[in-house]
Structure 1
Amino acid sequence: MGSPSTVRNQPESQTAPPVPARGLARLGRWLAHRRILVLLITLAALIVAVPFGSDVESRLSEGGITVPASESARADELLNTRFEGGSPHLVFIAAADTDIDTAQVSSEGSALTQRLADERGVVQAGSYWTLDKAPTLRSKDGRTGLILVRLAGDEDQVRKAAARIVPDVVGEHGPLKVTATGVTAVRMEIEKGSEEDLAKAELLSGPLVLVILLLVFGSVVAASTPLAVGILAVIGSFVVLRLLDMVVQVSVFSVNITTALGLGLAIDYSLFIVTRYREELARGRDVSEAIAESVRTAGRTVLFSALTVALSLSAMLVFPMYHLRSFAYSGIAVVALAALGSLLALPALLAVLGRRIDALNVRRLFRRGAKPAAARSDREGFWHKLAMAVMRRPLPFALAVAALLVALGLPFLRAEFGDSDDRVLPASSPAHQGAQVLREEFDNREGSPLNVVLPDIDPQAASTKVTDYAKQLSTVPGITRVDALTGSYSEGKQVAPPGAASDRFEADKGTWLSVISDTEPYSERGMDLVDTVRAQPAPDRVLVGGQAALLVDSKATLGDRLPWALGIIAASTMVLLFLFTGSLLIPLKAIVLNLLSLTATFGAMVYVFQDGHLRWLVGDFTVTGMLDIDTPILMFCVAFGLSMDYEVFLLSRIKEEYHRTGDNVSAVAWGLERTGRLVTAAAALVATVLLAFATSSLTPLKLLGVGLALAVTLDATLVRGILVPAFMRLAGRANWWAPRPLDRLHQKIGLDD
């Protein structure tokens, strides 16, 4: 093995040898020869896809955060089916210029409550004026009252009913000015904001992506080909989501990430194939042979990369919440679509363009006689020099970068997790403003109670037991009132007899209690209260539901399933990279280095979005002291897949050089040289698409976009540029070692074309 300071690779001959007649090469030749047929089929599919997928967002589901079969889910299901009761979906805030106990205000408040009760889809409607003027439904200044509305049906039915009711109720009603908040009103605004932010992100990122492609290729035609495949992938992603929704429930929020992922990966894959195609033309191949070689080499890497990304996303299938599972379903499908577009439609397009791929070269406007980038690929450029510099002193470089990434990741040790509430909305949002009124002007959380269901008890025969249990719960610190069939209780005493509102607790079998607290449901204190209530002695079997209980059950389920998800990612990475390289060490290195870059990303999430630092840089948002519980899992799976995407492209060139020369140092340097510029460009493209979400008005989308963009950037620079060459120089020939039995296995089933 030569010295890292002296090893050089000679430029390849301009007369390239014939392309081996193997599977992917044959596919490339067939696509080149049948280019018109392939493009006509693609055009026909596109004509069908546009109208079919255009309304996909209106058809997808909004919920999916509930853990099926959990205690909280079973409690809420019983409340829906047996009692038609539970926590209010909508909280209307009715404000007046005078005391709400005046005759005119009381009359209007009662009439509005009755009007809501008569609305189709409403199962319960009660207010300060109809619920015995309960003090907790009246603001501190006495000028605002609450109207609580419970809707019938599942999450989608509730959303449709709310979309019909809220616009008619919000506004002025005599002396009352009414605004809407509550769980469903918040989710409706989140969904609307998500749709608007996606359109804004696409408009912002599109021109920037084209500029980056022009800088990479220098040619308008060459730059347009990856963008065309990216557009195909985005349109295809809408069709995929629409088809998936016919089979499984798909979250409407998956549209944002799958569209960004489809666009980013399609451009990435096309970028590598087009670059290889230009290289092969520069080596003297004709158009058909250049396409065959590009599909055989870069196409094989694209296939393998798509498989690694898809397997990373498949880890989310271990979680039972369809909110996360839908990201896996749609993400896997969109990755496959991006790969197929790059491997089928793109070669046909290249065959039509032929050597006109470098037409409309914008660089000639600034520099006469500029050569295409592909013709300069054998020069010892920046990335080759960087790799050689790192490999001269690999240990200091590796330790310095690793220490930096670990230091950036330390804030994640104090991460706190919650669920999305009104505070993910912008401060100008009506639902957010309404929720702030509830926090500031009302002592209790009437809109987010705990629902304690006793499904088996006979409420009439055991009324004393229900009373005693309600009194006992009312003494728990943090609980201000317990409403039951037998009345209302506070601090161990009955404060109100049973009234008209008590009928909601009655059914043929079982009863339930509404437990009102002074605690934010998604806070640590709110979650502790759930555990305390569940630990209280009860007269019969008890199920505790409500927003805080849903979060407690979600955290427990995610914690239980997370090791399985991580195991799937680690095992699939080990197997696939072994099949790709024949090495045991390289897959381990890939896992460790990817985890290092993700550690820094997760630390930044806490520092910025949990603690509230650098808001001037990423855009203003409400600091809650918590991270959305689902976002780190989604971010980990997507970011790990993207990191493996770049790992595969780099390894493919390193392996190609190593097999040709047998020199590890030279292979690493030339592999990085031939992919460094492209990986950087690919990362810049993906980061641009993702970073456009930083303009979102929704905190989770902002967090996802900034976090993934940072992960991609760190991976393409510090990890690929420094840690990979340092590690591979330290390992030397051991990079390519495997025990003899595994080596024989790789020779039989390895992913060589």
Structure 2
Amino acid sequence: MAELLYRLGRFAARRHWTVIGAWLVVLAITAATYAAFAGTLSSSITLPDTPTTRVSAQLERDFEGTGGGNGAIVVETTDGEAFTDTQRREVGDLLDEVAEVDQVTEVSNPFTTQDQLDASARKVADGQQQLNDGLRKLSAAQGQVDAGRAAVEAQREQARQDGTLAAVRGALADAEAQLDAGQARIDRNRAKIEEQEPALQQGLTLSQLSSGFRTVSEDGSAAVANVTFDVSINEVSLEAKSAIEDLVTDADIDGVALHPSQDIAQTVPSILGPGEVAGVVVAAIVLFVMLGTVLGAALPLVTALLGVGVASLASLSLSGVFDFVSVTPVLGVMLGLAVGIDYSLFIINRHRRQLKQGADLHESIGLANGTSGNAVVFAGVTVIVALLALNVTGVPFLGLMGTVGAVAVLVAILMAVSLTPAVLSLVGRRILGRRERARLGAGEHAADPTAVTARDTPMSNRRALTVLGVGVVALLAVAAPATQMRLGLPDGSTQPPDSAAYRAYEVQADKLGEGSNGPLLVVADLPEPVAADGEVAEQAQIAEQIGRTWSVDAVVPIGVSKDRTALAFQVVPDGSPSSESTAELVQNLRTLEPTTTSGERATLGVAGNASAGIDISDKLASVLPVYLVLVVGLSLLILVLVFRSILVPLTATLGFVLSLLAAFGGITAIFQLGFLGDLFGVHAPGPVLSFLPIIATGILFGLAMDYQLFLVSGMREAYAHGAPARVAVQHGLHAGRSVVTAAAIIMISVFAGFVFSHDATIKPIGFGLAFGVLLDAFVVRMLLIPAAMHLLGEAAWWLPRWLDRILPDVDVEGAGLERSHPVQDDHTADDTVPGRHAAQA
């Protein structure tokens, strides 16, 4: 591989315009395919074959008008007073316009709906009042009849004592007949009431259970209109959502503010915002400090940005075929920028070092490509494998994320080993500063940095133990909050405070209750079809048992299946969609088996946005340990192959696990527990983004192996050339520290730029990756690993003989290439004309 990259580097140096032109053509082709085939991106995250999707499919298949997606338009008065009749009418007219938008099947008028709910509640209350009045009248009438019978009996007894019974017998019989007629009327009326009482009681039960459901707040100052689509919410086109947003935004209703909910107001996050640009600027500053020239600092940025353009356009060209989550291309940009800059930097840094030693320009480019470029390819392939391994999780959107990220890294590698040599040839020796070129022209060559010197004196055992102990304890302390990590998806509360989605969430939570932001759809599958005249009784029977479940605020019947074997209910939780109580409620409902009116058991299924988020989080939490074991095993195998050692890979992998857990702890502390929330713009702490841990595991693993490779390979090379083990540790650390420091700072700055994104999905990803790289590069790779290897000494490089015989010799740093192509003194220092060396070699 090293020899192949050496030849590729020299070819690119000789034919720099051809290589540059070829990449520009590739960029143009990807731009054309993007324009021709790109589809829309979705902000909704879904998984196939989950409990939620199965219930959603049942609703769509078996129930009329309940299978499509739902959004909401929240309306509030600006003065906090109740809506006027004029405002109600104008809001209704606007909702009629929204109903005409493509893919919208229905828009409920909240005022009409609330009036109907109130009328139904009054009707039930009136019926109950009439029932109670009837029972009181019956009781009074029964009392009169009973009193009459007692009076007749008293008269009969008195007449018997007076001996006048025969004279009054006819009158007493007439009185008893009248009393019997009155009793018969009472009995008939009581039978009627008893016949009506179950239906009235069932209506009262349903009315009480649904009393917590409102479409207009009790003070009349806020209302929620439900928007129903003809497809699931993740399939609603951006054009339809934009049309609704435009209607709402352009509505000019005096004294009324309108806010589309998150399901409607979802927007695709910007790929490069102010924070991301700031991250690139920081990277440019680091490059300038590292390389000493503006030209040198610009080259990695240009190649990385070009690579990001190619990778992003190529990936998005397939968005018309695959369902792209909106965060997917942003993740590709993150990785493409970070590794693109770093990989180019590694090759440029090696080339500059060789030039300062007096190497010929094209020879130096070839050697840099065959040595550092070889390490870049190996490191990049490690990242790609870790990302592609996300496909084994069985989560489609996660696998696609990993594939897009892998494409971005692959393009960054290709750019680094082909475009970077071409551009280096184009700029010639101007990659060095003026003073460096002047010293080279005067015959002053830099010393060989690979030679072991006095500065490579080993650290003391005491210092190594102290560094190792303090570092491990510190990382474990930072990792502690991860024990409380909860996974979830962002809801409206996590959106920017100035956004319509956030305002819609807050108004609903404040005026209608937290649970109104995430109602659940519950389907009860019955053991046998329900008759039309028994429908209300069955609904009341099951709804009452659902309502007794902890954390339920309201239960509203919404339909019966076509075959009458299932009932559907809308259940409003007490808590928010992302709360622990709602997650517990979903699980409780799924295990509940309510009793039907016939005494048999029904089974419940749950759907809805809150339920979907819970299912996705549970699925990802279950595959995370499997993926972590896969990555850790892969780490051990790769490092054993590279370093021909058992203990070096073991310490490297344990270090990665420590830094990963500490990164999880930082993410949990800030985004879930709210620690330093103001600093990072976290105004609503909540569950950690459900797919963040597994994405962070894959990416941070690849990057950790990058830094391990560039630092420890120098240690191994020195040890292989006869340096004592502990001296080799210090030599490798000194040799690779500066370039790894610069590379890590660049990567941290690029990732950190995304922390200030307004998108609640991008922000924690940017922080997690930036914090993870910070801990792994500066704590694990530069402190803990050297300390551990110092303490291990010669044992660090132990490898069983049988394993040594079967392992291939992987020359990652291209040492064999250096021996076969030693650096030649060029003696030509003044080379400021581009292409001066084009005819050489």
Q: TM-score range by the shorter chain?
A: 0.7 to 0.9
Aligned 8 A contact 1:479 1:516 in 2: yes
Secondary structure of 2:516's aligned partner: coil
Question: What is the CA–CA distance in structure 2 between the aligned matches of 1:143 and 1:678, rounded to whole Å?
Answer: 61
Q: Which stretches in structure 1 are left out of the alignment for 5+ residues? A: 1-19, 486-501
Indicate conservation of the 8 Å contact 1:28/1:292, yes or no.
yes
**Residues 28-82 of structure 1: per-residue CA shift (max 9 Å, x gap):** 333333333222212222333456558999733322x222101111112333455
Aligned residue number for residue 518 of structure 1: 574
- Selected match of 1:34 from 15, 40, 58: 15
Aligned CA distance change for structure 1 residues 387 and 517 (closer, same or farther; 3 Å):
farther
Distance of 1:59 and 1:162 partners within structure 2: 12
- Residue of structure 2 in register with 1:14 after alignment: none
Q: 1:476 to 1:37 in 2, by over 3 A?
A: same
Q: Secondary structure at the match of 1:137?
A: coil
Q: Please state whether the residue corresponding to 2:568 is helix, strand or coil.
A: strand
Are 1:273 and 2:347 an aligned pair? yes
Distance 1:525-1:274 versus aligned 2 partners, 3 A rule: same
Per-residue deviation, residues 112-166 of structure 1 (Å, max 9, x unmatched): 4444334331223223323252361121322222211111224132543222122
- Give 1:316 deviation, angstroms: 2.5
Question: Which residue, out of 243, 260, 263, partners 1:184?
Answer: 263
Instruction: Give 2:754's aligned amino acid.
Output: F
Corresponding residue for residue 168 of structure 2: none
CA contact (8 A) 1:598 1:639 kept: yes
Alpha-carbon separation, structure 2, partners of 1:316 and 1:586: 26
Amino acid at match of 2:640: F
Counterparts of 1:591 and 1:69 in 2: how far apart (Å)? Answer: 35
Q: Which amino acid aligns with 1:156?
A: E
Number of the residue aligned with 1:701: 762
Alignment counterpart, residue 441 of structure 1, candidates 502, 511, 520? 511
CA distance in 1, matches of 2:660, 2:375: 23
Q: Structure 2: which amino acid aligns with 1:552?
A: I
Residues 396, 658 of structure 1: CA spacing in aligned structure 2 closer, same or farther, 3 A cutoff? same
In structure 2, do the counterparts of structure 1 residues 377 and 751 end up closer, same or farther at CA, with 3 Å as the change threshold?
closer
Counterpart CA distance in 1 for 2:446 and 2:607 is: 62
Mark the CA change 1:28 to 1:211 in structure 2 (over 3 Å): closer, same or farther: same
Aligned partners of 1:693, 1:743: CA distance in 2, in Å? 44
**Contact residue 56 and residue 241 of structure 1 kept, 8 A:** no
Q: Which residue of the other structure, out of 285, 292, 297, is the alignment partner of 2:366?
A: 292
Matches within 5 A, 1:526-545: 526-538=582-594, 539-545=601-607
Q: Aligned match of 2:642 in 556, 580, 585? A: 580
Cα offsets for 1:441-499 (capped at 9, x unmatched): 114633421111246864556724344222321232322332225xxxxxxxxxxxxxx
Instruction: Measure how far apart 1:574 and its partner are.
Output: 1.4
Q: Partners of 1:373 and 1:183 in 2: how far apart?
A: 63
**Letter matched to residue 76 of structure 1:** S
Is contact 1:244–1:330 with CA below 8 Å preserved after alignment?
A: no
In the alignment, the residues of structure 2 paired with residue 282 and residue 369 of structure 1 have an alpha-carbon distance, to the nearest angstrom, of: 10
2:612 paired with 1:550: yes
Give per-residue Cα distances to partners, 1:231-288, cap 9 Å, x unaligned: 1221122123223425532222122222121111011111111111122223333223
Matched residue, 1:66? 46
CA distance in 2: counterparts of 1:412 and 1:370, whole angstroms: 58
Secondary structure of 2:358's counterpart equals coil
Matched, 1:150 2:228: yes
Which of residues 89, 92, 103 is equivalent to 1:121? 103
1:453 and 1:513 in contact (8 A); partners too: yes
Query: Which of structures 1 and 2 has the bigger CA Rg?
Result: 2
- Corresponding residue of 1:562: 624
Return closer, same or farther for 1:375/1:708 CA change in 2, 3 Å cut-off.
farther
Query: Contact 2:75–2:256 (CA<8 Å) still a contact in 1?
Result: yes
Tell me if structure 1 keeps the 8 A contact 2:715–2:731.
yes
1:609 corresponds to 2:687: no
Equivalence for 2:694: 633
Given that 1:28 and 1:347 are in contact with CA atoms closer than 8 Å, whether structure 2 keeps it comes out as: yes
Shift in alpha-carbon separation, 1:183–1:227, aligned structure 2, 3 A: closer
Which one of 56, 61, 66 corresponds to residue 76 of structure 1? Answer: 56
Find the partner of 1:314 among 370, 388, 400: 388
1:283 aligns with 2:390: no
Q: Deviations over 1:668-727 (max 9, x none)?
A: 222111110000000111111111123222344332223322222222222222211111
Question: Counterparts of 1:346 and 1:89 in 2: how far apart (Å)?
Answer: 50
* Cα-to-partner distance string for 1:420-461 (whole Å, 9 max, x where unaligned): 011221211122112111111114633421111246864556
Name the % identity: 28
In the TM superposition, 1:194-233 aligns within 5 A as: 194-195=269-270, 198-233=272-307
Query: Aligned-pair RMSD on alpha carbons?
Result: 3.2
Q: Could you tell me which residue of structure 1 aligns to residue 112 of structure 2? A: 130
TM-score where L is the length of structure 1: 0.86
The 3 A distance-change label for structure 1 pair 137 and 398 is same
> The residue matched to 1:521 in structure 2 has which SS?
coil
Mapped contact 1:93–1:179 kept (Cα < 8 A): yes
Could you state the TM-score of these two structures normalised by the residue count of structure 2?
0.77
Q: Does the CA-based 8 Å contact 2:277-2:753 persist in structure 1?
A: no
SS in 2 for 1:90: strand
2:328 alignment partner, one of 254, 265, 276: 254
- Counterpart CA distance in 1 for 2:324 and 2:546 is 38
Is structure 2 residue 645 aligned with structure 1 residue 597? no
Q: Does 1:621 align with 2:682?
A: yes
The aligned counterpart of 2:421 is 347
- Number of the residue aligned with 1:141: 219
Amino acid at match of 2:220: G
Equivalences for residues 649-668 of structure 1 within 5 A: 649-668=710-729
**Residue aligned with 2:48, SS:** coil
Deviation at 1:324, TM superposition (A): 2.3
CA distance, structure 2, for counterparts of residue 379 and residue 314 of structure 1: 39
> Is the 2:39–2:318 contact (alpha carbons within 8 Å) kept by the matching residues of 1?
no
CA gap of 1:372–1:507, structure 2 versus 1, over 3 A, is farther
Q: Is the 8 A contact 2:35 2:317 kept in 1?
A: no
**1:11 alignment partner in structure 2:** none
Task: Tell whether the 8 Å contact from 2:491 to 2:577 is kept in structure 1 after alignment.
Answer: no
Deviates more, 1:78-87 or 1:346-355: 78-87
Shift of 1:625: 4.2
Distance 1:540 1:614, change over 3 A: closer
- C-alpha separation between the residues in 1 aligned to 2:33 and 2:761? 29
2:16 is aligned with 1:23: no
* Distance change in 2, residues 1:235/1:372 (3 Å): farther
Give SS of 1:542's match.
Answer: strand
Partners in 2 of 1:182 and 1:263 — Cα distance?
33
